[in-house]
Amino acid sequence: MYLKPNAPTAAAAGKTVIGFNVINGKEIEGDLGMIESRSAADRRDLVGMFPDSGEKDVARAAKAADDAFRAWSATPAPARGAVIQRTGDILAAHQAAFARIITRETGKTPREALDEVQEAIDTCRFSATEGRRPQGWTMSSARPGQGLTVHRRPAGVCGVLTTGTSPLAVPVRKLIPALLSGNTVVWKPSDDAPTIAYLLMQALMDAGLPPGVANTVNGRGRAGSGKHHIAGIGKGLYQAFSFTGSAALGRSIGELCGHHFIVSGLELGGRNPMVILPDADLDRAARDAVRAAFGHGGQRGASLANLILHKACAAEFKRRFLEAVAALDMGNPMTDPEVAYGPMINARLAEGFKAHWELGRQDGATLLCGGEAWTDGNRTERVLGPIGHGHYMQPCVWDGVAPSMELFHKQVLGPTVNLIPVADVDEALACVHAAPCGLSASLYTEDRRCIERFRREARAEVLNLNTGGTGLRENGPWDLDWHTRWQTVHETAPGPIQDAPVHAAKGKPRPLTDWTGL
């Protein structure tokens, strides 16, 4: 790792990291020059510089992973778990430094960044224990003298492609279960957050991960190394592929994996709903809705999108919710760490967010607040710190949104939320299922019958009942399913082969019962 002084105007933010691809345990430059990672909070801050990689770099990384697979997959699972445990220890020892890099690169608040590092630490510590848990079954066979066992086997080389909205927690959720299972990895980090990815690779190597087991190929997305990384599926470079990002790209990756019989793990964005019923604690619901909608500026895949309000409480909830939104402090998280949310990650997301203003107006929705970018000319006392060198957006609340509108269905990354009035629980559930499937759905009510019905019928991956959590279904032992294949082993003892005793349980023959007299 090399550090160089930042520009004088950004010297207080920290130094610039000069990073590399990591291939076969070595730091390697790319084929296509360098790309810059600039702070979302202040574009004058050059956080890092990394290779812009091409097709040959992807092929080198895949070969290194393939060469390392045999030895790593043969390493006992407890030993693999020990490497992962040490990785978590390194993250814990440098949690503040990792969090600061996340804030610089992505504009997350310091609190959100620390929480993300803690999630990565927890994932490492949990996964390390899985290395000592049973990973198969011994089953009874119908044939005498035959053993029947079922085992998890590593898939092989796993391709991983992640976005920059959760630049540490999401990759850790992908990489760690894959490595624990005995796979090797080729990872294309987001070009929005390559610095934190590089530091994670440093932690893995410091923890003792052998060369070639995990490899990174930096660079641009669809127009660069990301394109070549995905193309590797069709070239047979990978036996599994894991992706976090948009539904559109996820659909293409899933189709490609299916065509080539490759295991795919897709974590895709959707329209995450929250249902508020009349008997809910409206203060708690409003507070949780603000956090779920505007945390990290609404740029998480699990951010709240559609607030579904029973008409009997819609007016009162709306009043409390808008008061909470008006009280939000926002701005530069580097200079004012107490802000509720900071900037958009990059100009591309900022332009996409701005485009949704016109979309909402064309749909006929009513904009209750927001609709502009913050500038030094229109800022209020709620906007903190210097904002002239980033993309800072006002919080948007749309009213009168209906399932017939594109605004209801279209995923928009940014600080925006839709209010949808409904007449009853049936209509609320219909709205939950009308939009593209979200990662999570929430319900606020004290009615146990409604809660139980929501449990049974809501089709989101994660359900939040009277709580504002936005967690994912990942981070459990089922993570291993994306990175392993099941293998059944039949073993017969030496000697004559015996047929299964299919008649053994019938006992001695006897006259059949005469049922005609009943």
- 3-state SS of 324-356? HHHCCCEECCCCCCCCCECCCCCHHHHHHHHHH
Listed range (52-61, 268-277, 281-290) with the worst mean pLDDT: 268-277
Give percent above pLDDT 90 in the chain.
75
pLDDT tens-digit readout, 12-28: 999 999 999 999 999 99
Burial of 415 (0-12, 13-18, 19+ CB in 10 A): buried
CA distance 86 to 217: 24
When the pLDDT of each residue in the chain is averaged and rounded to a whole number, the result is 91
Amino acid at 301: G
Q: For residue 298, how many C-alpha atoms fall within 13 Å in the half-sphere facing its CB?
A: 29
| pTM for the predicted model, two decimal places | 0.90
pLDDT tens-digit readout, 434-451: 987 678 899 999 999 999
The dihedrals phi and psi of 414, each to the nearest 5 degrees, come to 150, 175
Res. 473 pLDDT band, cuts 50 70 90: very low
CA distance 328 to 380: 11
- Mean pLDDT for the stretch of residues 459-467: 89
Whether the pLDDT of residue 86 is over 50: the answer is yes
- Mean pLDDT for the stretch of residues 290-318: 95
Res. 474 pLDDT band, cuts 50 70 90: very low
CA neighbor of 16 nearest in space, from 33, 36, 31: 36
pLDDT tens-digit readout, 249-273: 888 989 999 999 888 888 887 789 9
Res. 84 pLDDT band, cuts 50 70 90: very high
What are the structural domains of the chain? 2-268 (3.40.605.10), 272-465 (3.40.309.10)
- Mean pLDDT for the stretch of residues 142-157: 82
Number of residues that make up the chain: 518
Whether the pLDDT of residue 101 is over 70: the answer is yes
Whether the pLDDT of residue 180 is over 90: the answer is yes
CA distance 192 to 198: 12
* pLDDT given at position 436: 76
CA distance 435 to 503: 55
Taking CA atoms, 76 is separated from 157, 241, 478, in Å, by 18, 23, 20
- Helix, strand, coil % in the chain, rounded to nearest 5: 40, 20, 40
CA neighbor of 277 nearest in space, from 249, 244, 314: 314
* pLDDT given at position 469: 56
CA distance 134 to 251: 34
Whether the pLDDT of residue 483 is over 80: the answer is no
Per-residue HEC secondary structure of 80-106 comes to HHHHHHHHHHHHHHCHHHHHHHHHHHH
